[in-house]
Amino acid sequence: MILNDKKVIIMKKESSTVQIGLRLEKELIESLEFFAGHKKLDKMMIIKQAIAAYVGDMEDAFEDTAIEGYICLRISEEELKKNTGLKEIPKDIKEARQETLKMITKEKMKR
């Protein structure tokens, strides 16, 4: 933007939220409005809570899958840390991985 022969830079404050467009079935909107009314919230807050809860469940499942993958020797310690945000692997998880390794070793020795 130029103002009185000087360049003026307008900096927009970056928002912590992003607006999305969402089309929902009328019946779903009616249900949202019903529950929002009983909780004394608006329907957008109910939608935000539902999405946050769903994403939280997905994150938990992803972390559980990573832990299982580590215990079953499918992923490395580095991958587990990357996928879970763990800085150190808890003792019980390390022990479970060692037990899996022992079982695999015993099976191979039987052959």
pLDDT digits (tens, 9 = 90+) for 52-110: 999 999 999 999 999 999 999 999 999 999 999 999 999 999 999 999 999 988 887 77
Question: What pLDDT score was predicted for residue 76?
Answer: 96
CA dist 102 and 106 (Å) reads: 6
CA nearest neighbour of 48 among 80, 83, 16, 75? 16
Give the pTM: 0.70
34 pLDDT above the threshold of 90: yes
Domain spans in the chain, listed from the N-terminal domain onward: 42-111
Question: What pLDDT score was predicted for residue 73?
Answer: 95
Question: What pLDDT score was predicted for residue 106?
Answer: 82
